[in-house]
Chains A and B, each alone.
Chain A
Amino acid sequence: MSEDRVPDPLAPIEVPPPAEASVVRISSRTATILLLFTLTFTALMAATYFATKPAIEASARAEKMKLIGEVLPKSGYDNDLLADGVSLPPMPALGLDDVSTVYRARKDGTPVAMVVEAAAPDGYSGRIGLLLAIGADGRLLAMRVTDHRETPGLGDYIDPKKDKNKTSPWIGQFDRKGFEDINPEQWKVKKDGGMFDAHVGATISARAVTNASGRALAWAGERREKLFALPAAAKFEE
Protein backbone atom coordinates (compact mmCIF):
# COMPACT_ATOMS: atom_id res chain seq x y z
CA MET A 1 0.00 0.00 0.00
CA SER A 2 1.99 3.02 -1.12
CA GLU A 3 0.67 6.31 0.15
CA ASP A 4 1.97 8.37 -2.78
CA ARG A 5 -0.78 7.11 -5.07
CA VAL A 6 -3.55 8.54 -2.90
CA PRO A 7 -3.13 12.34 -3.01
CA ASP A 8 -3.43 14.10 0.31
CA PRO A 9 -6.59 16.23 0.07
CA LEU A 10 -5.17 18.67 2.61
CA ALA A 11 -1.93 19.30 0.74
CA PRO A 12 -1.59 22.99 -0.16
CA ILE A 13 -1.85 23.71 -3.87
CA GLU A 14 0.42 26.38 -5.32
CA VAL A 15 -1.66 29.30 -6.55
CA PRO A 16 0.38 32.24 -7.77
CA PRO A 17 -1.04 35.48 -6.33
CA PRO A 18 -2.72 37.53 -9.07
CA ALA A 19 -1.08 40.80 -10.02
CA GLU A 20 -3.12 43.89 -9.11
CA ALA A 21 -3.89 44.88 -12.67
CA SER A 22 -5.10 41.44 -13.70
CA VAL A 23 -7.80 41.12 -11.01
CA VAL A 24 -10.56 42.33 -13.32
CA ARG A 25 -9.35 40.11 -16.13
CA ILE A 26 -9.15 37.04 -13.89
CA SER A 27 -12.58 37.71 -12.36
CA SER A 28 -14.28 38.06 -15.71
CA ARG A 29 -12.54 34.96 -17.00
CA THR A 30 -13.67 32.92 -13.98
CA ALA A 31 -17.18 34.33 -14.23
CA THR A 32 -17.35 33.38 -17.90
CA ILE A 33 -16.19 29.84 -17.17
CA LEU A 34 -18.73 29.46 -14.37
CA LEU A 35 -21.44 30.78 -16.69
CA LEU A 36 -20.44 28.30 -19.40
CA PHE A 37 -20.59 25.42 -16.92
CA THR A 38 -23.99 26.61 -15.68
CA LEU A 39 -25.34 26.84 -19.24
CA THR A 40 -23.99 23.40 -20.19
CA PHE A 41 -25.42 21.62 -17.20
CA THR A 42 -28.70 23.52 -17.31
CA ALA A 43 -29.01 22.37 -20.92
CA LEU A 44 -28.35 18.80 -19.80
CA MET A 45 -31.09 19.04 -17.17
CA ALA A 46 -33.51 20.69 -19.58
CA ALA A 47 -32.91 17.98 -22.18
CA THR A 48 -33.52 15.25 -19.59
CA TYR A 49 -36.64 17.05 -18.40
CA PHE A 50 -38.16 17.13 -21.88
CA ALA A 51 -37.06 13.57 -22.66
CA THR A 52 -38.68 12.20 -19.51
CA LYS A 53 -41.78 14.44 -19.42
CA PRO A 54 -44.18 12.16 -21.36
CA ALA A 55 -43.16 9.07 -19.35
CA ILE A 56 -43.46 10.94 -16.05
CA GLU A 57 -46.89 12.33 -16.93
CA ALA A 58 -48.11 8.91 -18.02
CA SER A 59 -46.93 7.28 -14.82
CA ALA A 60 -48.39 10.09 -12.69
CA ARG A 61 -51.74 9.50 -14.40
CA ALA A 62 -51.49 5.74 -13.95
CA GLU A 63 -50.47 6.31 -10.35
CA LYS A 64 -53.51 8.50 -9.76
CA MET A 65 -55.87 5.96 -11.33
CA LYS A 66 -54.28 3.19 -9.24
CA LEU A 67 -54.75 5.20 -6.08
CA ILE A 68 -58.33 6.09 -6.97
CA GLY A 69 -58.90 2.42 -7.81
CA GLU A 70 -58.07 1.54 -4.21
CA VAL A 71 -60.90 3.64 -2.82
CA LEU A 72 -63.30 3.27 -5.73
CA PRO A 73 -63.31 0.05 -7.77
CA LYS A 74 -63.35 0.55 -11.54
CA SER A 75 -66.45 -1.66 -11.86
CA GLY A 76 -68.57 0.82 -9.91
CA TYR A 77 -68.68 3.52 -12.57
CA ASP A 78 -68.48 3.90 -16.35
CA ASN A 79 -67.40 7.50 -17.03
CA ASP A 80 -63.90 8.84 -17.67
CA LEU A 81 -63.17 9.77 -14.08
CA LEU A 82 -60.11 11.94 -14.60
CA ALA A 83 -61.98 14.00 -17.22
CA ASP A 84 -64.94 14.63 -14.91
CA GLY A 85 -63.35 16.84 -12.29
CA VAL A 86 -64.29 20.02 -10.46
CA SER A 87 -61.45 22.17 -9.23
CA LEU A 88 -61.53 23.41 -5.67
CA PRO A 89 -59.83 26.52 -4.32
CA PRO A 90 -57.61 26.02 -1.25
CA MET A 91 -60.05 24.53 1.25
CA PRO A 92 -59.16 24.79 4.96
CA ALA A 93 -62.14 22.57 5.88
CA LEU A 94 -60.42 19.73 4.02
CA GLY A 95 -57.04 20.65 5.45
CA LEU A 96 -55.81 21.70 2.00
CA ASP A 97 -53.87 24.91 1.51
CA ASP A 98 -53.51 24.33 -2.21
CA VAL A 99 -55.95 23.88 -5.08
CA SER A 100 -57.30 20.36 -5.56
CA THR A 101 -59.71 18.45 -7.79
CA VAL A 102 -62.85 16.50 -6.93
CA TYR A 103 -63.51 13.68 -9.41
CA ARG A 104 -67.07 12.50 -9.98
CA ALA A 105 -67.88 8.87 -10.76
CA ARG A 106 -71.12 8.19 -12.62
CA LYS A 107 -72.86 5.10 -13.89
CA ASP A 108 -75.22 5.64 -16.87
CA GLY A 109 -75.05 9.35 -16.05
CA THR A 110 -76.22 8.94 -12.44
CA PRO A 111 -73.80 10.13 -9.76
CA VAL A 112 -72.25 7.20 -7.88
CA ALA A 113 -69.44 8.68 -5.85
CA MET A 114 -66.86 11.41 -5.71
CA VAL A 115 -63.18 11.20 -4.96
CA VAL A 116 -61.99 13.96 -2.65
CA GLU A 117 -58.50 14.84 -1.47
CA ALA A 118 -58.05 15.90 2.14
CA ALA A 119 -55.25 16.23 4.63
CA ALA A 120 -54.68 15.95 8.36
CA PRO A 121 -52.30 18.72 9.47
CA ASP A 122 -51.72 17.16 12.89
CA GLY A 123 -49.99 13.81 12.32
CA TYR A 124 -47.14 12.76 14.59
CA SER A 125 -44.67 13.99 11.95
CA GLY A 126 -46.68 16.64 10.15
CA ARG A 127 -49.14 16.43 7.33
CA ILE A 128 -50.98 13.22 6.38
CA GLY A 129 -52.50 13.26 2.89
CA LEU A 130 -55.79 11.42 2.41
CA LEU A 131 -57.93 10.32 -0.49
CA LEU A 132 -61.61 9.66 0.19
CA ALA A 133 -64.33 8.13 -1.95
CA ILE A 134 -67.67 9.53 -0.80
CA GLY A 135 -70.83 7.93 -2.08
CA ALA A 136 -73.76 9.81 -3.60
CA ASP A 137 -75.62 9.01 -0.38
CA GLY A 138 -72.98 10.83 1.69
CA ARG A 139 -71.30 7.73 3.10
CA LEU A 140 -67.55 7.33 3.16
CA LEU A 141 -66.99 4.40 0.78
CA ALA A 142 -63.28 3.98 1.48
CA MET A 143 -60.25 6.03 2.42
CA ARG A 144 -56.52 5.74 1.81
CA VAL A 145 -53.46 7.57 3.12
CA THR A 146 -51.62 9.00 0.12
CA ASP A 147 -48.56 10.44 1.82
CA HIS A 148 -47.32 10.61 5.37
CA ARG A 149 -44.15 10.64 7.45
CA GLU A 150 -45.44 8.74 10.49
CA THR A 151 -42.91 6.65 12.39
CA PRO A 152 -42.13 3.41 10.50
CA GLY A 153 -43.34 0.40 12.41
CA LEU A 154 -45.31 2.51 14.87
CA GLY A 155 -47.74 5.09 13.48
CA ASP A 156 -47.56 4.01 9.85
CA TYR A 157 -50.29 1.40 10.24
CA ILE A 158 -52.66 4.11 8.96
CA ASP A 159 -51.33 3.11 5.53
CA PRO A 160 -52.68 -0.40 4.77
CA LYS A 161 -49.49 -1.23 2.84
CA LYS A 162 -47.57 -0.87 6.11
CA ASP A 163 -50.29 -2.26 8.40
CA LYS A 164 -49.20 -5.58 9.89
CA ASN A 165 -52.82 -6.71 9.96
CA LYS A 166 -53.24 -7.53 6.26
CA THR A 167 -56.65 -9.22 6.50
CA SER A 168 -58.49 -6.31 8.11
CA PRO A 169 -56.24 -3.26 8.06
CA TRP A 170 -56.95 -0.42 10.46
CA ILE A 171 -58.19 1.96 7.79
CA GLY A 172 -60.85 -0.57 6.68
CA GLN A 173 -63.07 0.30 9.64
CA PHE A 174 -64.08 3.52 7.86
CA ASP A 175 -65.46 1.67 4.81
CA ARG A 176 -69.13 2.42 4.10
CA LYS A 177 -69.51 4.46 7.28
CA GLY A 178 -71.67 7.58 7.22
CA PHE A 179 -73.16 10.02 9.65
CA GLU A 180 -76.39 7.95 9.55
CA ASP A 181 -74.55 5.17 11.44
CA ILE A 182 -72.20 7.28 13.46
CA ASN A 183 -73.13 10.52 15.12
CA PRO A 184 -70.65 13.29 14.14
CA GLU A 185 -69.84 13.57 17.86
CA GLN A 186 -68.76 9.92 17.78
CA TRP A 187 -66.50 10.22 14.71
CA LYS A 188 -63.38 10.02 16.89
CA VAL A 189 -60.93 7.43 18.13
CA LYS A 190 -62.09 5.44 21.16
CA LYS A 191 -59.57 7.17 23.39
CA ASP A 192 -61.41 10.45 22.70
CA GLY A 193 -64.80 8.87 23.38
CA GLY A 194 -65.54 7.93 19.77
CA MET A 195 -66.20 4.80 17.71
CA PHE A 196 -62.90 4.03 16.00
CA ASP A 197 -60.09 1.78 17.19
CA ALA A 198 -56.49 2.92 17.34
CA HIS A 199 -53.32 1.03 18.21
CA VAL A 200 -52.27 1.44 21.81
CA GLY A 201 -49.29 3.76 22.10
CA ALA A 202 -49.76 5.17 18.58
CA THR A 203 -52.99 7.12 18.82
CA ILE A 204 -51.80 10.41 17.38
CA SER A 205 -51.62 9.20 13.76
CA ALA A 206 -55.01 7.47 14.03
CA ARG A 207 -56.60 10.48 15.70
CA ALA A 208 -55.32 12.82 12.99
CA VAL A 209 -56.70 10.61 10.21
CA THR A 210 -60.03 10.01 11.96
CA ASN A 211 -60.66 13.69 12.70
CA ALA A 212 -59.61 14.81 9.22
CA SER A 213 -61.86 12.23 7.57
CA GLY A 214 -64.80 13.35 9.75
CA ARG A 215 -64.25 16.98 8.72
CA ALA A 216 -63.92 16.05 5.05
CA LEU A 217 -67.03 13.88 5.14
CA ALA A 218 -69.05 16.64 6.80
CA TRP A 219 -67.81 19.21 4.30
CA ALA A 220 -68.39 17.09 1.20
CA GLY A 221 -71.66 15.63 2.49
CA GLU A 222 -73.28 19.03 2.83
CA ARG A 223 -72.16 20.15 -0.64
CA ARG A 224 -72.54 16.89 -2.53
CA GLU A 225 -75.50 17.91 -4.69
CA LYS A 226 -73.73 21.04 -5.81
CA LEU A 227 -70.50 19.13 -6.39
CA PHE A 228 -72.24 16.53 -8.56
CA ALA A 229 -74.24 19.14 -10.49
CA LEU A 230 -71.32 21.33 -11.64
CA PRO A 231 -70.17 20.72 -15.23
CA ALA A 232 -66.80 19.07 -15.83
CA ALA A 233 -63.73 21.28 -15.36
CA ALA A 234 -65.83 23.91 -13.57
CA LYS A 235 -64.53 25.81 -10.56
CA PHE A 236 -66.28 25.23 -7.26
CA GLU A 237 -66.98 28.24 -5.08
CA GLU A 238 -68.62 28.34 -1.68
Chain B
Amino acid sequence: MSVYRDITYNSLWKQNPILGQVLGLCPTLAITTSFINSFSLGLATTFVMAMSNFAVSALRSFIPFEIRIPVFILIIAALVTVVDLAMNAWLHDIYLVLGIFIPLIVTNCIVLARVEAYAAKNPVLASTWDGAMMGIGLTLVLAVLGIVRELFGQGTLLSGIEMIIPGTEAIRLLPEDYPGFLVAVLPPGAFFVLGLLIAGRNWLDARANEKARQHLLQAQAHA
Protein backbone atom coordinates (compact mmCIF):
# COMPACT_ATOMS: atom_id res chain seq x y z
CA MET B 1 0.00 0.00 0.00
CA SER B 2 2.98 2.30 0.38
CA VAL B 3 2.81 3.03 -3.38
CA TYR B 4 -0.48 4.78 -2.77
CA ARG B 5 0.91 6.64 0.24
CA ASP B 6 3.89 7.78 -1.80
CA ILE B 7 1.60 8.96 -4.60
CA THR B 8 -0.53 10.88 -2.14
CA TYR B 9 2.45 12.56 -0.47
CA ASN B 10 3.98 13.36 -3.86
CA SER B 11 0.77 14.83 -5.25
CA LEU B 12 -0.25 16.89 -2.27
CA TRP B 13 3.16 18.18 -1.24
CA LYS B 14 6.44 17.10 -2.79
CA GLN B 15 5.40 17.37 -6.45
CA ASN B 16 2.25 19.40 -5.98
CA PRO B 17 1.12 20.37 -9.52
CA ILE B 18 1.26 24.09 -8.81
CA LEU B 19 3.61 24.57 -5.87
CA GLY B 20 6.10 21.88 -6.79
CA GLN B 21 5.90 21.42 -10.56
CA VAL B 22 4.51 24.92 -11.29
CA LEU B 23 2.43 23.51 -14.13
CA GLY B 24 -0.93 24.62 -15.50
CA LEU B 25 -0.54 28.24 -14.49
CA CYS B 26 -2.86 29.67 -17.14
CA PRO B 27 -6.14 28.48 -15.57
CA THR B 28 -4.60 28.89 -12.12
CA LEU B 29 -4.11 32.59 -12.66
CA ALA B 30 -7.21 33.20 -14.76
CA ILE B 31 -9.95 31.66 -12.65
CA THR B 32 -8.88 31.90 -9.03
CA THR B 33 -10.74 35.17 -8.45
CA SER B 34 -13.11 33.49 -6.01
CA PHE B 35 -13.23 30.32 -3.94
CA ILE B 36 -16.28 28.86 -5.70
CA ASN B 37 -14.73 29.30 -9.16
CA SER B 38 -11.41 27.81 -8.09
CA PHE B 39 -12.85 24.90 -6.20
CA SER B 40 -15.35 23.87 -8.88
CA LEU B 41 -12.78 24.02 -11.64
CA GLY B 42 -10.36 22.09 -9.43
CA LEU B 43 -12.92 19.32 -8.97
CA ALA B 44 -13.70 19.16 -12.70
CA THR B 45 -9.96 18.97 -13.46
CA THR B 46 -9.52 16.27 -10.82
CA PHE B 47 -12.22 14.19 -12.48
CA VAL B 48 -10.64 14.62 -15.91
CA MET B 49 -7.18 13.75 -14.55
CA ALA B 50 -8.39 10.58 -12.86
CA MET B 51 -10.31 9.52 -15.97
CA SER B 52 -7.52 10.30 -18.43
CA ASN B 53 -4.92 8.54 -16.30
CA PHE B 54 -7.28 5.57 -16.08
CA ALA B 55 -7.93 5.50 -19.83
CA VAL B 56 -4.29 5.95 -20.85
CA SER B 57 -3.08 3.37 -18.35
CA ALA B 58 -5.67 0.84 -19.50
CA LEU B 59 -4.82 1.42 -23.17
CA ARG B 60 -1.07 1.89 -22.72
CA SER B 61 -0.07 -1.35 -24.40
CA PHE B 62 -1.95 -0.34 -27.57
CA ILE B 63 -0.37 3.10 -27.90
CA PRO B 64 2.76 3.16 -30.07
CA PHE B 65 5.55 5.22 -28.51
CA GLU B 66 5.97 7.51 -31.54
CA ILE B 67 2.38 8.78 -31.59
CA ARG B 68 1.72 8.70 -27.86
CA ILE B 69 1.34 12.49 -27.51
CA PRO B 70 -1.40 12.87 -30.19
CA VAL B 71 -3.21 9.85 -28.72
CA PHE B 72 -2.95 11.25 -25.17
CA ILE B 73 -4.29 14.62 -26.30
CA LEU B 74 -7.06 12.88 -28.21
CA ILE B 75 -8.07 10.91 -25.11
CA ILE B 76 -7.94 13.98 -22.84
CA ALA B 77 -9.88 16.14 -25.29
CA ALA B 78 -12.56 13.48 -25.73
CA LEU B 79 -12.94 13.08 -21.96
CA VAL B 80 -13.17 16.83 -21.44
CA THR B 81 -15.83 17.02 -24.15
CA VAL B 82 -17.78 14.26 -22.42
CA VAL B 83 -17.50 16.07 -19.06
CA ASP B 84 -18.51 19.35 -20.71
CA LEU B 85 -21.63 17.84 -22.31
CA ALA B 86 -22.59 15.84 -19.22
CA MET B 87 -22.30 18.86 -16.94
CA ASN B 88 -24.26 21.00 -19.37
CA ALA B 89 -27.02 18.40 -19.40
CA TRP B 90 -27.20 17.25 -15.78
CA LEU B 91 -25.39 19.82 -13.63
CA HIS B 92 -26.56 22.85 -15.51
CA ASP B 93 -26.27 25.37 -12.67
CA ILE B 94 -22.63 24.56 -11.95
CA TYR B 95 -21.99 24.46 -15.68
CA LEU B 96 -23.23 28.04 -15.93
CA VAL B 97 -20.72 29.11 -13.26
CA LEU B 98 -17.76 27.35 -14.85
CA GLY B 99 -18.87 27.97 -18.43
CA ILE B 100 -15.84 28.59 -20.60
CA PHE B 101 -13.35 27.08 -18.17
CA ILE B 102 -14.37 23.45 -18.72
CA PRO B 103 -13.08 23.17 -22.32
CA LEU B 104 -9.89 24.87 -21.12
CA ILE B 105 -9.05 21.81 -19.00
CA VAL B 106 -7.70 20.28 -22.22
CA THR B 107 -5.02 22.94 -22.33
CA ASN B 108 -3.99 22.46 -18.70
CA CYS B 109 -0.58 20.88 -19.14
CA ILE B 110 -0.69 19.15 -15.75
CA VAL B 111 -3.21 16.69 -17.24
CA LEU B 112 -0.87 15.74 -20.07
CA ALA B 113 2.10 15.80 -17.72
CA ARG B 114 0.60 13.12 -15.44
CA VAL B 115 -0.54 11.00 -18.36
CA GLU B 116 2.93 11.09 -19.92
CA ALA B 117 4.99 10.83 -16.72
CA TYR B 118 2.89 8.33 -14.82
CA ALA B 119 -0.10 6.70 -16.49
CA ALA B 120 1.81 5.68 -19.62
CA LYS B 121 4.12 3.44 -17.54
CA ASN B 122 2.11 2.29 -14.51
CA PRO B 123 -0.79 -0.02 -13.67
CA VAL B 124 -4.38 1.14 -13.92
CA LEU B 125 -5.25 1.49 -10.25
CA ALA B 126 -2.09 3.37 -9.26
CA SER B 127 -2.45 5.65 -12.28
CA THR B 128 -6.06 6.51 -11.48
CA TRP B 129 -5.06 7.22 -7.90
CA ASP B 130 -2.19 9.40 -9.12
CA GLY B 131 -4.55 11.41 -11.37
CA ALA B 132 -7.09 11.88 -8.59
CA MET B 133 -4.48 12.86 -5.99
CA MET B 134 -2.67 15.25 -8.31
CA GLY B 135 -6.06 16.80 -9.06
CA ILE B 136 -6.78 17.17 -5.35
CA GLY B 137 -3.34 18.73 -4.82
CA LEU B 138 -4.20 21.19 -7.56
CA THR B 139 -7.67 21.84 -6.13
CA LEU B 140 -6.29 22.62 -2.67
CA VAL B 141 -3.87 25.22 -4.01
CA LEU B 142 -6.54 26.71 -6.28
CA ALA B 143 -8.89 26.93 -3.30
CA VAL B 144 -6.32 28.77 -1.16
CA LEU B 145 -5.55 31.17 -4.02
CA GLY B 146 -9.28 31.75 -4.53
CA ILE B 147 -9.94 32.39 -0.83
CA VAL B 148 -7.06 34.87 -0.48
CA ARG B 149 -7.83 36.76 -3.70
CA GLU B 150 -11.55 36.91 -2.99
CA LEU B 151 -10.99 38.12 0.56
CA PHE B 152 -8.59 40.90 -0.43
CA GLY B 153 -10.30 41.70 -3.71
CA GLN B 154 -13.91 41.87 -2.61
CA GLY B 155 -13.90 41.26 1.13
CA THR B 156 -16.18 38.22 0.83
CA LEU B 157 -16.03 34.46 1.01
CA LEU B 158 -18.06 32.02 -1.11
CA SER B 159 -19.32 34.64 -3.55
CA GLY B 160 -21.18 32.88 -6.36
CA ILE B 161 -22.53 30.17 -4.07
CA GLU B 162 -26.08 31.35 -4.82
CA MET B 163 -25.59 30.02 -8.36
CA ILE B 164 -24.93 26.52 -6.99
CA ILE B 165 -27.20 26.48 -3.93
CA PRO B 166 -30.07 28.95 -4.52
CA GLY B 167 -31.07 30.99 -1.50
CA THR B 168 -27.62 31.10 0.06
CA GLU B 169 -25.45 34.18 0.06
CA ALA B 170 -21.78 35.11 0.13
CA ILE B 171 -20.26 35.70 3.56
CA ARG B 172 -18.95 39.24 4.00
CA LEU B 173 -15.80 39.08 6.09
CA LEU B 174 -14.61 42.65 5.70
CA PRO B 175 -16.86 45.67 6.41
CA GLU B 176 -19.53 46.62 3.88
CA ASP B 177 -17.65 49.80 2.88
CA TYR B 178 -14.43 47.89 2.08
CA PRO B 179 -13.48 49.48 -1.25
CA GLY B 180 -12.07 46.29 -2.75
CA PHE B 181 -8.49 45.79 -3.84
CA LEU B 182 -8.38 45.55 -7.60
CA VAL B 183 -4.84 44.14 -7.87
CA ALA B 184 -5.95 41.03 -5.99
CA VAL B 185 -8.68 40.39 -8.55
CA LEU B 186 -6.53 41.01 -11.63
CA PRO B 187 -3.91 38.44 -12.80
CA PRO B 188 -0.93 40.21 -11.10
CA GLY B 189 -2.63 39.57 -7.75
CA ALA B 190 -2.62 35.86 -8.59
CA PHE B 191 1.13 36.01 -9.24
CA PHE B 192 1.74 37.72 -5.88
CA VAL B 193 -0.31 35.21 -3.90
CA LEU B 194 1.12 32.26 -5.83
CA GLY B 195 4.66 33.54 -5.27
CA LEU B 196 4.03 33.78 -1.54
CA LEU B 197 2.55 30.25 -1.46
CA ILE B 198 5.54 28.77 -3.30
CA ALA B 199 7.94 30.67 -1.04
CA GLY B 200 6.05 29.41 2.02
CA ARG B 201 6.23 25.82 0.83
CA ASN B 202 9.96 26.12 0.11
CA TRP B 203 10.51 27.66 3.53
CA LEU B 204 8.69 24.79 5.26
CA ASP B 205 10.67 22.27 3.22
CA ALA B 206 13.96 23.98 4.02
CA ARG B 207 13.09 24.06 7.70
CA ALA B 208 12.23 20.35 7.69
CA ASN B 209 15.53 19.56 5.93
CA GLU B 210 17.46 21.65 8.43
CA LYS B 211 15.79 19.83 11.34
CA ALA B 212 16.61 16.46 9.78
CA ARG B 213 20.24 17.56 9.38
CA GLN B 214 20.42 18.67 13.02
CA HIS B 215 19.00 15.30 14.15
CA LEU B 216 21.60 13.53 12.07
CA LEU B 217 24.42 15.62 13.53
CA GLN B 218 23.17 14.98 17.05
CA ALA B 219 22.91 11.26 16.38
CA GLN B 220 26.47 11.28 15.06
CA ALA B 221 27.71 13.23 18.08
CA HIS B 222 26.15 10.65 20.42
CA ALA B 223 27.62 7.78 18.52
Contact with A45, one of B6, B65, B78 (Cβ below 8 angstroms): B78
Tell me what chain B mostly uses at the interface: helix, strand, loop, or mixed: helix
Most buried by B among A2, A34, A41: A41
Judge if B139 is at the interface, Cβ distance under 8 Å. Answer: no
Which A29-80 residues have C-beta < 8 A from chain B?
Answer: 29-30, 33-34, 37-38, 41-42, 44-45, 48-49, 51-52, 55-56, 59, 63
Q: Which of A84-92, A126-134, A146-154, A215-223 participates in binding chain B?
A: A146-154
Q: How far is the CA of A146 from the CA of B134 in the complex (A)?
A: 35
Judge if B208 is at the interface, Cβ distance under 8 Å. Answer: no
Q: Which of B86-94, B190-198, B213-221 participates in binding chain A?
A: B86-94
Contacting residues, chain A, for B81 (C-beta < 8 A): 45, 48
A125 to chain B, nearest CB (A): 11
Q: Which of B38-46, B68-76, B103-111, B199-207 participates in binding chain A?
A: B68-76
Contact between A154 and B70 (Cβ–Cβ < 8 Å)? no
Q: Which of A5-13, A93-101, A179-187, A206-214 participates in binding chain B?
A: A5-13
Judge if B140 is at the interface, Cβ distance under 8 Å. Answer: no
Contacting residues, chain B, for A41 (C-beta < 8 A): 74-75, 77-78
Task: Determine the interface band of chain A, counting residues with CB < 8 A from chain B.
Answer: 20 to 34
B11-48: CB near A (< 8 Å → 1, else 0) gives: 00010000000000000000001100000000000000
A23 to chain B, nearest CB (A): 12
Judge if A1 is at the interface, Cβ distance under 8 Å. Answer: yes
Smallest CB gap from B33: residue in A: A152
Contacting residues, chain A, for B33 (C-beta < 8 A): 152-153
Q: How far is the CA of A59 from the CA of B86 in the complex (A)?
A: 12
Contact between B85 and A49 (Cβ–Cβ < 8 Å)? yes
Q: How far is the CA of A184 from the CA of B64 in the complex (A)?
A: 67
Q: Using known A-B contacts A6-B10, A151-B182, A154-B185, determine if residue A44 contacts B153 with beta carbons closer than 8 Å.
A: no
Contact between A30 and B66 (Cβ–Cβ < 8 Å)? yes
B172-195: CB near A (< 8 Å → 1, else 0) gives: 000000001010011000000000
Most buried by B among A1, A63, A152, A161: A152
Interchain residue pairs with CB less than 8 A apart (21):
A9-B116, A29-B64, A30-B66, A33-B63, A33-B64, A33-B67, A41-B77, A45-B78, A45-B85, A48-B82, A49-B85, A52-B86, A52-B88, A52-B89, A56-B85, A59-B89, A152-B154, A152-B185, A153-B154, A154-B185, A161-B162
On A, residues with C-beta under 8 Å from B are: 1-2, 5-7, 9, 13, 15, 29-30, 33-34, 37-38, 41-42, 44-45, 48-49, 51-52, 55-56, 59, 63, 151-154, 161
On B, residues with C-beta under 8 Å from A are: 3, 6, 9-10, 14, 33-34, 62-67, 70-71, 74-75, 77-78, 81-82, 85-86, 88-90, 92, 96, 113, 116-118, 121-122, 153-154, 162-163, 180, 182, 185-186
